[in-house]
Chains A and B, each alone.
Chain A
């Protein structure tokens, strides 16, 4: 009988000690959200925790939508978000700060039989819309005004993600309006495209370009966007050769916006935790020096000031 009582008491004791103390909670930051921001946030967390060892930062990636869902439901302190914030979400009280900029780019296989025409002419926004949304362009022959040259196989993202939302907003629609085979996750999509000569899709820049070499990964090619819609890719529209030139085009806003996009930290209402506010301010200031090496475009100065002001 005595042993039973001691076991029960021990169990209760373990349970109680298992919960955190108030100060531990204050110094713990739980973040979740977009895959696009995940590697950068992890790097930031490492550097920040070196400066402030008493802070613990837990980061998980589950897609931009999951970040939003977790923030709205109070499951995490802050979310990483990779598309524009919708009005309904703002109505629910979302607070945000932009951290850096990257881009979603249209992709095809390097083995596409019409690669040369595509690289020379590019595809306009309207044509993209007809490929991805309405389906009225379904054959690669549209490039040369011929018919039956090969079916265009459209791929999109199955999971609720920022990349799809951003690409869709470029085409004036929503993710669910993008009609194509749904692949889970960005690497899966890049893989599917590189293996199928007839495929077309879209990816985050990080999954197309290798950050170390600055070149496109083998098997995948970028579709130049015919921004001025004149039917060819002019020299000033041709910046897809290296990661560096593409990011420069994004930074100078030559590349359209969307599908270039700002990456955000989101919270429900102005953050209350001091440690969270400190972290956000740090990423907007000292943290910006890690952004380029990670393959993103740093926030322009005026925007940083604007966001810093929001934290007060």
Chain B
């Protein structure tokens, strides 16, 4: 009895440890594999040239990734600016002020939206958002726009990230013990004040986590953005014009990969860049959480 117990224990803890190690080594494996596949690029251009220049002429062997990196950041930050305040306010409303019935209706709605395939968001973007931008929003701001633009990408991404961020924010707010809020109320605080000073304070790390989640998701989203962003290689601060984020680059040109020399390395390098940037974003957000928890 004791013997089988120890053998089983060795086997299963061995299994547990090896599972964990395998899983944790995956980001390294991916990074290394992608980097190895990108090395042919370095023979003609240095790392700084690749990241810092904006000339993109694959058939002449010149790959400047700057416009793509710029577009990716631009689209992501834009979507964040749209989504974060809305999510925060809605989550507060749904958990603190609204009737429970509203919350029970919202949950399936959010889940459905999280599950809708990105192609559909892309189509919705083309049907609704693109004409909206070219016919309503651009004239409002005094410019013209083809509709297919960074702004379109930002809006579509915002809508895609909202279900995830909202879900997480709701869960976070829910974990704040009711007692704490009641204590604040009993001390004379108004509803809003108890939210502002107690609920939000307590959930700061959860809030930051959900923002980080939303950002990472927006940065890496491929299909929906590709359909509305215009796919033009530009370095332009005008959100009403088209852009070309990194994931779109990879998905669009996957086909040309083996026909033009070193194009496959370029795409693998784009994937590598994506990976590295996401890891850095994660690191930054972890740091914020750490700082918030110290308070």
Q: Do chains A and B touch in the complex (CB under 8 A)?
A: yes
Q: Interface on A for B, CB 8 Å cutoff?
A: 1, 62-69, 72-73, 86, 88-89, 92, 151, 153, 158-161, 174-176, 179-184, 188, 191-192, 195-196
In the complex, how many angstroms separate the beta carbon of A99 from the nearest chain B beta carbon?
19
| Contact partner, A89, options B144, B232, B259, Cβ 8 Å | B259
> Could you tell me if A181 and B148 are in contact, using CB atoms closer than 8 angstroms?
yes
> Could you tell me if A184 and B231 are in contact, using CB atoms closer than 8 angstroms?
yes
> Could you tell me if A72 and B258 are in contact, using CB atoms closer than 8 angstroms?
yes
In the complex, how many angstroms separate the beta carbon of B139 from the nearest chain A beta carbon?
15
What are 21 A-B interface contacts by the 8 Å CB criterion? A65-B257, A66-B255, A68-B255, A68-B259, A69-B254, A69-B257, A69-B258, A69-B259, A72-B258, A92-B258, A158-B226, A158-B252, A159-B253, A174-B59, A175-B256, A180-B232, A181-B230, A181-B242, A182-B252, A183-B231, A184-B252
In the complex, how many angstroms separate the beta carbon of B37 from the nearest chain A beta carbon?
12
- Give the 6 A-B residue pairs with the shortest CB-CB distance, closest first: A65-B255, A182-B231, A160-B255, A158-B231, A160-B256, A66-B255
> Could you tell me if B259 and A65 are in contact, using CB atoms closer than 8 angstroms?
yes
> Could you tell me if A176 and B258 are in contact, using CB atoms closer than 8 angstroms?
no
* A73-B148 in contact given A1-B4, A176-B58 (Cβ < 8 Å): no
B166 at the interface (CB under 8 A from A): no
Residues of B within 8 A of A183 (CB): 148, 227, 231
Give the dominant DSSP class at A's interface. Answer: mixed
| Contact partner, A196, options B59, B146, B252, Cβ 8 Å | B146
B61 at the interface (CB under 8 A from A): no
> Could you tell me if B252 and A86 are in contact, using CB atoms closer than 8 angstroms?
no
> Could you tell me if A176 and B252 are in contact, using CB atoms closer than 8 angstroms?
no
> Could you tell me if B255 and A1 are in contact, using CB atoms closer than 8 angstroms?
no
B248 at the interface (CB under 8 A from A): yes
* A159-B252 in contact given A181-B148, A195-B131 (Cβ < 8 Å): yes
In the complex, how many angstroms separate the beta carbon of A279 from the nearest chain B beta carbon?
23
In the complex, how many angstroms separate the beta carbon of B233 from the nearest chain A beta carbon?
9
Per-residue CB contact flags for chain B residues 110-152 toward chain A (1 = under 8 Å, else 0) read 0000000000000000100001001000000000101010000
* A181-B254 in contact given A86-B259, A176-B57, A176-B59 (Cβ < 8 Å): no
In the complex, how many angstroms separate the beta carbon of A290 from the nearest chain B beta carbon?
26
B261 at the interface (CB under 8 A from A): yes
Residues of B within 8 A of A158 (CB): 226, 231, 248, 252
> Could you tell me if A160 and B258 are in contact, using CB atoms closer than 8 angstroms?
no
Using C-beta atoms within 8 Å of the partner chain, give the interface range for chain B. 20 to 34
CB nearest neighbor in A for B134: A196
> Could you tell me if B255 and A69 are in contact, using CB atoms closer than 8 angstroms?
yes
- Kindly state the separation between the CA atoms of A38 and B276 in the bound complex, as whole angstroms: 37
> Could you tell me if B252 and A160 are in contact, using CB atoms closer than 8 angstroms?
yes
In the complex, how many angstroms separate the beta carbon of A148 from the nearest chain B beta carbon?
14
Residues of B within 8 A of A175 (CB): 256
CB nearest neighbor in A for B231: A182
| Contact partner, A160, options B4, B56, B59, B253, Cβ 8 Å | B253
Residues of B within 8 A of A1 (CB): 4, 8
> Could you tell me if B242 and A182 are in contact, using CB atoms closer than 8 angstroms?
yes
CB nearest neighbor in A for B230: A181
Query: Taking each of B56, B258, B261, which has the highest tally of chain A beta carbons within 10 Å of its own beta carbon?
Result: B258
Residues of A within 8 A of B256 (CB): 65, 69, 160, 175
> Could you tell me if A160 and B146 are in contact, using CB atoms closer than 8 angstroms?
no
Q: Which of B244-293 contact A (CB under 8 A)?
A: 244, 248, 251-261
CB nearest neighbor in B for A185: B227
CB nearest neighbor in A for B255: A65
CB nearest neighbor in A for B144: A151
Residues of A within 8 A of B242 (CB): 181-182
> Could you tell me if B259 and A191 are in contact, using CB atoms closer than 8 angstroms?
no
In the complex, how many angstroms separate the beta carbon of A122 from the nearest chain B beta carbon?
25
Residues of B within 8 A of A179 (CB): 232
> Could you tell me if B126 and A153 are in contact, using CB atoms closer than 8 angstroms?
no
In the complex, how many angstroms separate the beta carbon of A161 from the nearest chain B beta carbon?
7
> Could you tell me if A68 and B232 are in contact, using CB atoms closer than 8 angstroms?
no
CB nearest neighbor in A for B127: A191
In the complex, how many angstroms separate the beta carbon of A204 from the nearest chain B beta carbon?
16
> Could you tell me if B231 and A64 are in contact, using CB atoms closer than 8 angstroms?
no
> Could you tell me if B231 and A181 are in contact, using CB atoms closer than 8 angstroms?
yes
CB nearest neighbor in A for B12: A4
Query: Taking each of A62, A88, A181, which has the highest tally of chain B beta carbons within 10 Å of its own beta carbon?
Result: A181
| Contact partner, B254, options A72, A160, A182, A196, Cβ 8 Å | A160
> Could you tell me if B126 and A191 are in contact, using CB atoms closer than 8 angstroms?
yes
- Kindly state the separation between the CA atoms of A188 and B231 in the bound complex, as whole angstroms: 13
> Could you tell me if B8 and A64 are in contact, using CB atoms closer than 8 angstroms?
no
Residues of A within 8 A of B57 (CB): 176
In the complex, how many angstroms separate the beta carbon of B121 from the nearest chain A beta carbon?
13
> Could you tell me if B227 and A188 are in contact, using CB atoms closer than 8 angstroms?
yes
- Kindly state the separation between the CA atoms of A66 and B250 in the bound complex, as whole angstroms: 12
> Could you tell me if B261 and A88 are in contact, using CB atoms closer than 8 angstroms?
yes
- Kindly state the separation between the CA atoms of A195 and B210 in the bound complex, as whole angstroms: 38
Contacts beyond the supplied A65-B255, A181-B230, A181-B232: 10 A-B pairs with Cβ under 8 Å: A66-B254, A67-B255, A73-B258, A159-B251, A160-B253, A160-B254, A160-B257, A176-B57, A182-B232, A184-B252
